[in-house]
Structure formats: structure tokens, C-alpha cells
Chains A and B, each alone.
Chain A
């Protein structure tokens, strides 16, 4: 109902573009992204390959949002970063078409020169991976930076002219005093970000942190405490004028991340780079994850694709709900799900939606744009539970 951004800012038919830079200085212990420790691989050739993929697959794309993510894009030397951005612009014309052009940066590698290259390359939003301001926590995560590096990186961004700045933070570190998280959050807010992403620490399958937990050497925080931290985060951010518009995302009014919004609304997405995923015309596309293999494929005349798949209409409808219900106030427009997948989710076998509504976990509102499904305040922190019940039976 309450859109996270004024209607008409993002168009349903236009694509967004994501470019993946797969290398990091070191590997964080909680991380399950497609990230690889940089061991001197030729970054110039990597940039060439990225440009080559863009040229090959989507020349003249004119995306409505642009996002350079990773890994750690700030790992690129300034001149390579600039070459990449200018090259992409020449192929895609993103500076003209894009409402928002973001880049991820890590504190240890985001200096003035890099910030200036980013601005010169046409970027207008920066997202800095702060994660925590506490040295022991950063050490437990194996982050290659200290708290002061975060402040320096913010200063570099501001100095180069970034007016739209996000900080990534993680809460619910096992055994941490809740007040320590509040202190972290307040310290981040003092840096005056336009946007904050506050993630609960997740024990993803296969990460060193998860192995440590499974070996009994670390205990996940109790869900009551996580809820408390989640609620406190909301209160503290609201006091600072940042609204929550998604599970983990907060922004000053009108400063929600458009690129990510497009993802939650499930608008078309083009992914360039190793392991990058895309979506459009009913097809999921995923690139080869291993940077060397992806690069070799492109250099050998391939298109870097690992697999593409076409989910059936039930699965596709579920994906709309899975993404859209994350938008706290906006929710999912049911008519849009119907239009794009042919499935009326109010008509599913066994009617799980009605049950979830009856249990007070979801609600359906009627408005000018038709019926909108969203999580209730009680159901919002339990979204995965609701989603599991909405999952189509059998394989998708």
C-alpha cells in the first residue's frame, strides 16, 4: 500500500543491472556469497571480461538502476574501476538511463582515489560494509579492517561527493550484550548515513562460522533475543529518522535503495560477472561461479552462462511472494502476481493464504491498486514460517 518509493519511479518493464566483482582481500567467516580471496589474479583481464560479457549480451541496455557489487568492488585499482565504469557506460548508457548507480565498498580498500574514480565513473550511491565497530567482533568475523577504517571510508566517500551513503551492519553476534549492538548502531548513525542495512547474523550452510556452531563451539542467539534486537533496531533508527522498508533495510524518506527495491518487486534483472544471476521473461539465469572458469568461458567465445531455468507458474508466483512480502509496508500486489505468472495465490490448493491470514500472520488490504498482501506486524518477523507454508508442493 504504502510504497517505499513514489509510484512511477521504477517501471515494471525496465531492467536493472548488476555487475559482480568476485574478489575480496580475505574471506569473512559468515560469508556465503560468491566471493574469492584475491591472490593476484589479473584484474585488468577481469574488467575486460566483464565488458566483453556486457557487450555480448546486453548492448544498449539502458538499465533503470545499476549496482556494482561483490565480493569487494573497491578492491579494483582506481584506474581499472574507472575503465570498467566508462566501458560499461559506453556499452549500456547507464549514466543517462539509471536513476541510481551504486557500488559496494569495503573499509580497508575504499580510499579517496577509489571514491573519486567511482564518482568520475558516474556512481551516485555508495554502500560500505562496516558490519561492526567492535574489534573483537570484527576479528571473530575475520574482517580485514578496524572501526577507524570505516570512519575513514565514509570520509573518503563524502569527500568525493557521495550524497547517498549506506552502511552494512550485523547484529546478534553470539553472546553479545544487546547494549553493545545499540552502541554499534548509534555509532553508525552518527556518521549520518542516508541508508542502513542491519542484518541478523545468519549461520549459512557451509561457512566456517556454521561449522564452529555445529561443532558446539558457538551457540546461535536465542530467537527471543534476536527479536528484541530487531525491535530495538527499528526504534533507534526511527528516532534517527530512518524508516524500515524491508526486513533489514532502513532509509531516510525517499532514499530506499531502488536497485534492491526492483529485486523485491521482482522486476527484470540482468547479471554480469562470475556467479551473477538474472531474471526476465520468466527465465532465471546464472553465470559460472568460478571467476577463472567464467573468464575462460568468455575468452573462449562463450557467454559465461552456467544454467538457465524456467520455474513453473506456481514457483514463479511463490517467488513473487517470497520477495515482495519482505517489503514491510508495500507488500505484494496480487494482481501483479496474477498478471506475470497466471496464478491467483488466493486460489492455491488447501488455501494456505487464508489460513495464514486467519492466524494473523499475513493480511490482505484493498486499495486503489487492487488487493495487496503483506505481513502483519506479528507475522513480519516470522516470514519464513509463512513462506514455508506457501511453498508449492512437489518440485518447482
Chain B
């Protein structure tokens, strides 16, 4: 990338869609078209660069890439951002959109419009940006483009004529798509001569290079060696390296308005980097702040504790490092009688929670115990104060509060017509309130229900999938809090209350939940040399009990003078295995048991 292209030759856009509709694959084709990557390389979905993304075959992190493409004889700079489709990562989509003027809304021509298609399209349209609908996977034999185009008009109110058809697999239609981007996405505005103004829209920590900050340039020019200022953090840094992702990081001397790139500086304090912050000059006239991002709204909370209590500070720094790359993660220190010191962490969903835990363990090498996830609750105290709790342990004694309010979300379920009965039944079973039913096409219908978040966050999605043979999708609005008849279910292990195992649940199902949790624990907690009593109690009354029989024999059968070192090492290993457990009283409880309370099995 030698010569700078003028603003009117730059286009910034995100690729958004429902999960698996082909965003990352399309990004591959676009990069190939620009000659940025080798067509004969062995890997697909090149922008899914994290191990976890490749293992799971989904995008977790948005990734940006700068491409120089010849369109009708003129070079253009296309900055595209590939975004994740899973609902738990919609914060990534939001952040990406703010660095763009347009979005490609991909729709799988066989699956049609799905819940996240609607949700992500709404996000883009709310920002008043150009949305180009793209019908993908038209190569599939069961693609049904006419029907999908009809849905497009009906559900999203987008004109079917505006839609481009392509196959990210074969590359068909990709050229046309690029032309549409150039023709329809507005060029960025901005002025070289204004004071520097750039949006920090992402960052990551690299072991060797320190913090790498992703920038979207708005005004001014930034050059290597400049001193810059972060407006929110009020911190000054020297620019040591600038560059663009092509997709590999490629250094350059300066970044100008409209461009997307990265900056490396000797940032020591991770806390100085706020995603959504504005970068400007250190000296002279400073720019005003860009709008930035809304605070993430965690839907699920759980405790994360280091297995070794000495690792508390290491866990804190691991969380800070991860937060840099995942600004939707929220955490605060907490302590538990059973688990010691750890953090209460908020996530956008269960997959997000799982990914965070995996990333923490992989990226920091720490062993972590996770407590059962819970939704937040609002507690109306005697005297009228309202406060929010993120863990059942925080629930005050029942005589101290007036009521417990739980999050309720309006949920839109897009399902095939023939599944209406099954899904209606599922929703009413989950304490739902029916709102309405709309037909999107002769075969698809959207049901809207109010549902308690706690009833849908855990296994509802699986039930929805099985009830619709895989064709149902869902989307939720922001939660609001409503009073409900909720109680705290306490779990006692070996006579000791295990605060990390208690849950808040609806009074009517509490006893059944208690029994099922105990049965799960019975399976997960290994036998000890004594019998372990398990009890569930509600309001001081024991409602269920089980026990784990004592281990009767545990002795090495064969051990002679020549085996000493080997046998000792075996014992050491077995003991180390136990260290991955946390003790409640004198009972060793493995990580999996803490998630036992999740199960809602019958």
C-alpha cells in the first residue's frame, strides 16, 4: 500500500448475518479477489484466527482487514469487518458497525431470514447506515431465493431489487457485490486538517508487542512518532508503530481519515485502553469525543475462582488482559465461604461465558473453578430501596426484603408453522406470557412471548431447536424486571452450606430442582473415605436429601522396593488431580459439580 487513496475511494463496511450464513467465507473470497491472500492456501475462514474459533467453526471476535481493490479501473480501499453471528457476541457487531458506513447483510438462501438476521439488521438500520442485503449460498440445491426475497420485503422492509445474490463458496457474484459496495456505501467523511480524531474500536494484548489498538480514523492524520492522547483515559502515549491488517499486520507510516488500522505503543497500564474511547493529539487543539459505545448489559453472571487460592491476583490480571480484547466482559471481586476470593463476572450469554472461561484458561494457563450461572435479580428491600444482585449468595434474609424481581424479556421466536403447537407449549411451561403471532410467509411464523430470562437462558435454545427440527431461531429484547414468587434454594454438602451452589428459583419448582441438583452432585462428587450427606433446603427447611457412600478401598495393590519413586509419583499425580477441586468443609468438590445446579432435568 504505497500511495494514499483519497477519501472518496475508501469504503468501510461490516459483514453481518445470522450465525453460519457465510460471513467469514465471504471475507475469504473478498480477500482473494483483492489478491491479499493465496487462493491455494489450506485454510478456510481465514479471519477466524483464534484456535477456539477454528475448533468450534464459529467467529467469536470481529476481525478487520484492509483491501485494495481495482473496481472498474480505479483502485479503492475497502476496510471490511467480519463479525460474529452468534447472539452472545452481538456486542462485537455493534462495535464494528460504529467503525463503518455500511453493512452487508448476508442471508442464507436456503435458511432464509433468521432471528439474528433481524436483530443485526436492526442494529445497522438504527445507525442509519447503508444496508446491502446479500443472498448467499445460492449454489445450494435447496436454495429458495424467491421465498427469501419475499421475507426480506415483508420482515425487514428492504426492497428485493436492492438484494445481491452470490455464493461465498464458489465466488459467484462477488465482483458484483464489490461494485455494489463502492456504488452504495457512502465514502467516509473527515478532514485531514482537523485535529486528530480516531475511534478505538478494539484491542488485544500480544505477548511480544504489548497492546495492539484497533483504530478507525475520523479526522486528522496520525504518524509514527506522534504523541497521542486518549480522551477518556486521559493518558498520553507515543506512537511506536502504525499499520493495517492485510490481513496480516503490515506497518505503514501514517493513517488518514477513513482508514482503519492499528497502533502500537508502550502501553503499560491495560486499564488505559477503553474500547470506544477517542484518540486525539497530546499537544494543541484536541478533538471532541466520539459517541463511543453503550455499556454491555450482562445477561448471565457466575463466579470465577482460581483453583489455587494464591492465583487470585493472576486471575485479576488475566481478566484485565482478556477484557481488552472482549469489552463485553464485566467483572468485580467477590468472595465465597466455600471458594475463597474470586470474581463475579457478567456475560452476554452462556456461550460467551464458556468462551471466556476457555480463553482465560488457555491464554493465562490458570486453572479456574466456575460457579453456576445465574441471571441478575432486583431486590426490593423493606423500606423501599431497590438493589441488584448478581449472585444468589447476595440475597438478604427473607425478612429483610419485600420482593424479588426477575428479568423478563420479550422474545421473538421465528419458527416453521408446523412447530407452533410445540413451541407454544414450551413457552407456557417456562412461565411465559403470550403476546402475539405473525405470519412472515405461508411457512414461517413469528411468535412473541414474554419469558423470564432465567427460564430461557440455560437450555431453552436447545429445546427450541429440537422442537423445530433445527429450523427455529430466537431473539430477545432488553430485559426488564418484574416481581415473581422466587425463593433461594440452599445446598448443604457434608452439613456445610455451599454458598457457591445455591440458586434462586421459582417456588413451585424449587423442591424438584433441589432433588435434581442433589442427584447431579451425587454423580459428580467423588466418593470420600467417609459418607457425604447432601441436602437441599428452602427457608431453613430441608426439602431433599441424598448421600454419597464412603469409598471403601483405595490402596495400591502392588508396591515393592524397586518401585518406590514411580509409585510415589503416581500418588503425587493423584493428589494433584484432587487439587483441581475445591473443598467445602472436608469434601472435595470438582468443577463439574458446581455446574450441576444448571441442570433442569426431570
Report A's interface with B, CB cutoff 8 A: 16, 18, 199-202, 205, 223-224, 226-227, 230, 247-248, 259-260, 262-264, 266, 269, 271, 276-279, 284, 286, 309, 315, 318-319, 322-323, 326, 359, 361, 380-385, 387-388, 391, 396
Find chain B residues with CB under 8 A from A269 CB: 561-562
Q: Mark B550-591, 1 if CB is under 8 A from A, else 0.
A: 011111111111111101101110110010000000000000
The answer on a CB contact under 8 Å between B552 and A260 is no
Check if B527 is an interface residue, CB within 8 A of chain A: yes
Q: Which of B527, B553, B556 has the most CB of A within 10 A?
A: B553
| Docked pose: A263 CA to B530 CA in angstroms | 31
The answer on a CB contact under 8 Å between A223 and B551 is yes
Top 9 A-B residue pairs of the complex, sorted by shortest distance between their CB atoms: A263-B561, A227-B552, A277-B562, A383-B555, A199-B557, A227-B553, A200-B557, A381-B553, A388-B575
Give chain A nearest CB distance to B580 CB in angstroms.
14
| Docked pose: A231 CA to B395 CA in angstroms | 50
Contact A391/B575 with A247-B555, A381-B555 known, Cβ cut-off 8 Å: yes
Check if B428 is an interface residue, CB within 8 A of chain A: no
Nearest-CB residue, chain A, relative to B556: A384
| Docked pose: A83 CA to B578 CA in angstroms | 50
Among B527, B549, B564, B571, the residue within 8 A (CB) of A323 is B564
Report B's interface with A, CB cutoff 8 A: 527, 529-530, 549, 551-565, 567-568, 570-572, 574-575, 578
The answer on a CB contact under 8 Å between B551 and A385 is yes
Contact A381/B568 with A18-B561, A18-B562, A361-B529 known, Cβ cut-off 8 Å: no
The answer on a CB contact under 8 Å between A396 and B568 is yes
| Docked pose: A216 CA to B306 CA in angstroms | 32
| Docked pose: A278 CA to B560 CA in angstroms | 11
The answer on a CB contact under 8 Å between B552 and A224 is yes
| Docked pose: A260 CA to B554 CA in angstroms | 21
Nearest-CB residue, chain B, relative to A380: B555
| Docked pose: A384 CA to B552 CA in angstroms | 12
Among B527, B530, B557, B571, the residue within 8 A (CB) of A322 is B571
Among B558, B567, B578, the residue within 8 A (CB) of A388 is B578
| Docked pose: A291 CA to B555 CA in angstroms | 31
5 A-B pairs whose Cβ atoms sit less than 8 Å apart in the complex: A201-B557, A202-B556, A260-B560, A322-B559, A384-B556
Contact A286/B565 with A199-B557, A223-B553, A223-B554 known, Cβ cut-off 8 Å: yes
Nearest-CB residue, chain A, relative to B578: A388
Find chain A residues with CB under 8 A from B572 CB: 391, 396
Find chain A residues with CB under 8 A from B530 CB: 359
Nearest-CB residue, chain B, relative to A309: B565
The answer on a CB contact under 8 Å between B553 and A388 is no
| Docked pose: A57 CA to B565 CA in angstroms | 21
Among B554, B563, B571, the residue within 8 A (CB) of A277 is B563
| Docked pose: A202 CA to B567 CA in angstroms | 13
| Docked pose: A319 CA to B557 CA in angstroms | 16
The answer on a CB contact under 8 Å between B555 and A322 is no
| Docked pose: A227 CA to B553 CA in angstroms | 6
Find chain A residues with CB under 8 A from B565 CB: 277, 284, 286, 309
The answer on a CB contact under 8 Å between B564 and A279 is yes
Give chain A nearest CB distance to B572 CB in angstroms.
6
The answer on a CB contact under 8 Å between A387 and B571 is yes
The answer on a CB contact under 8 Å between B552 and A381 is yes
The answer on a CB contact under 8 Å between B564 and A326 is no
Contacts A247-B559, A260-B561, A277-B564 known; list 12 others, CB within 8 Å: A269-B562, A277-B561, A277-B562, A277-B565, A279-B564, A284-B565, A315-B568, A319-B568, A322-B567, A382-B553, A385-B554, A391-B571
